[in-house]
Structure 1
Amino acid sequence: MSLLQDIENRLAAALESVVGEKLAAPVVPAADLRFGDYQSNAAMALAKQRKTNPRALAEQIIAAMDMDGIGSAEIAGPGFINFRIDASTFASRAAAQLADERLGVPLAAERKTIVIDFSAPNVAKPMHVGHIRSTILGDSLARIARFLGHHVITDNHIGDWGTQFGMILHGWKTILDEDKLEGDPIPELVRVYREINAAAKDDPAVMETCKAELVKLQAGDEENLKIWSRCVELSKMGLQKIYDRLDVTFDHWLGESFYNDRLAGLVDEFIEKDLGRISDGAVCVFSGGELPDDKDPFRIHREEGWTDNPAIIRKADGGFLYATTDFATVEYRIDEWKADEIWYVVGAPQQMHFRQIFDASKRWGKDAGFQHIAFGSILGEDRKLMKTRSGDNVQLVDVLDEAVERAAAAIAGKNPDLPADEAKEIAEIVGLGSVKFAELSQNRMTDYVFSWDRMLALQGDTAPYLQYSHVRIRSIFRKLDEPFDSAGVELTLDSEAEVHLARLLIRYAETVPAILDEHRPNLLANYLLELARAFHSFFEACPVLKSDGPLRSSRLALCELTSKVLAHGLGLLGIRCPERM
Structure 2
Amino acid sequence: MNLLTQIRSLFEPALAALAPDQAKVPDLLAAIKPASNADHGDYQANCAMALGKALGQKPQDVAKALIAALPANDVLEPPTVAGPGFINLRLKPDFLAKAIAEIATDPKLGVEPTKKPKTFVIDLSGPNVAKPLHVGHLRSTIIGDALVRILRFLGHTVIGDNHLGDWGTQFGILLYGYKHHRDDAAFTADPVRELARLYVHVRGLAAVAEGEDEDGAGDNPIMTACREETSRLHAGDPENVALWETFMPACLEMLRPIYERLNVKIDHALGESFYNPMLACVVDDMLAKKIAFESKGAVVIPNAKGVVPQTEEEQKKEEPPAIIRKRDGAFTYTTTDLATVQYRAETWKPDVMLYVVGAPQALHFKTIFAQARRWGYADVDFQHVQFGSMLGKDRKIFSTRKGGVIELMSLLDDAARLGLQKYEENSAARRAVGHKVFEPTDAEKREIAEVVGTGAVKYADLSQNRTTDYVFDIEKMTGTDGNTAAYMQYAYARCRAIFREGEIDTARFRTHPPAVVISHNAERLLALQLLRFPEVVDSAVADYVPHLLTTYLWDVAKSYSGFYENCPVLKAESPELKDSRLLLVDLVSRVIKQAIDLLGIRVVERM
TM-score normalised to structure 1 length? 0.93
Distance change >3 Å, CA 412–CA 388, structure 1 → 2: farther
- Please list the CA deviations of residues 216-265 of structure 1 after superposition, one character each: whole Å capped at 9, or x if unmatched: 43233444322212212211111011001111011100111111111111
Distance change >3 Å, CA 215–CA 376, structure 1 → 2: closer
Partner of 1:261: 277
2:590 to 564, 567, 571: 564
Partner of 1:344: 355
The residue identity in structure 1 corresponding to 2:403 is G
More deviation, 424-433/390-399: 390-399
1:144 to 146, 150, 157: 150
- 1:434-473 matches, within 5 Å, as 434-473=456-495
More deviation, 12-21/488-497: 12-21
Q: What is the alpha-carbon distance in structure 1 between the residues aligned to residue 311 and residue 411 of structure 2?
A: 39
Partner of 1:400: 412
Partner of 1:133: 139
Q: What is the alpha-carbon distance in structure 2 between the residues aligned to residue 343 and residue 415 of structure 1?
A: 43
Following superposition, the deviation at residue 207 of structure 1 comes to 6.9
Partner of 1:549: 575
**Contact 1:299 1:307 (C-alpha < 8 Å) held by counterparts:** no
Partner of 1:480: 502
The residue identity in structure 2 corresponding to 1:395 is E
Q: What is the alpha-carbon distance in structure 2 between the residues aligned to residue 62 and residue 205 of structure 1?
A: 76
More deviation, 460-469/302-311: 302-311
- 1:165-314 matches, within 5 Å, as 165-193=171-199, 195=201, 213-287=229-303, 289=305, 305-307=316-318, 309-314=320-325
1:506 to 520, 531, 535: 531
Alignment identity in percent?
43
Following superposition, the deviation at residue 87 of structure 1 comes to 1.7
2:332 to 288, 301, 321: 321
Partner of 2:215: none
Following superposition, the deviation at residue 178 of structure 1 comes to 3.9
The residue identity in structure 2 corresponding to 1:91 is A
Query: Are 1:433 and 2:459 matched, yes or no?
Result: no
Partner of 1:73: 79
Following superposition, the deviation at residue 74 of structure 1 comes to 2.4
Q: What is the alpha-carbon distance in structure 2 between the residues aligned to residue 2 and residue 307 of structure 1?
A: 46
Partner of 1:43: 48
Distance change >3 Å, CA 338–CA 207, structure 1 → 2: same
SS of residue in 2 equivalent to 1:114: strand
Q: What is the alpha-carbon distance in structure 2 between the residues aligned to residue 352 and residue 527 of structure 1?
A: 33
The count of residues paired between Structure 1 and Structure 2 equals 576
- 1:147-166 matches, within 5 Å, as 147-166=153-172
Following superposition, the deviation at residue 90 of structure 1 comes to 1.3
Q: What is the alpha-carbon distance in structure 1 between the residues aligned to residue 164 and residue 571 of structure 2?
A: 57
SS of residue in 1 equivalent to 2:126: coil
More deviation, 15-24/429-438: 15-24
CA RMSD of superposed structures (Å): 2.7
Q: What is the alpha-carbon distance in structure 1 between the residues aligned to residue 283 and residue 145 of structure 2?
A: 33
**Contact 1:124 1:186 (C-alpha < 8 Å) held by counterparts:** no
Q: What is the alpha-carbon distance in structure 2 between the residues aligned to residue 335 and residue 107 of structure 1?
A: 26
- Please list the CA deviations of residues 412-449 of structure 1 after superposition, one character each: whole Å capped at 9, or x if unmatched: 33347321110011100000000000001011122212
Following superposition, the deviation at residue 143 of structure 1 comes to 0.5
Query: What are the ranges of 5 or more consecutive residues in structure 1 without an aligned counterpart?
Result: 291-295
Query: Are 1:361 and 2:367 matched, yes or no?
Result: no
Q: What is the alpha-carbon distance in structure 1 between the residues aligned to residue 581 and residue 319 of structure 2?
A: 66
**Contact 1:94 1:506 (C-alpha < 8 Å) held by counterparts:** yes
Q: What is the alpha-carbon distance in structure 2 between the residues aligned to residue 66 and residue 528 of structure 1?
A: 33
Distance change >3 Å, CA 164–CA 544, structure 1 → 2: closer
More deviation, 418-427/5-14: 5-14
Partner of 2:395: 383
Q: What is the alpha-carbon distance in structure 2 between the residues aligned to residue 250 and residue 266 of structure 1?
A: 27
Following superposition, the deviation at residue 18 of structure 1 comes to 4.6
SS of residue in 2 equivalent to 1:69: coil
Distance change >3 Å, CA 21–CA 106, structure 1 → 2: farther
- Please list the CA deviations of residues 12-58 of structure 1 after superposition, one character each: whole Å capped at 9, or x if unmatched: 12233456996332321111122211122233323323333332222
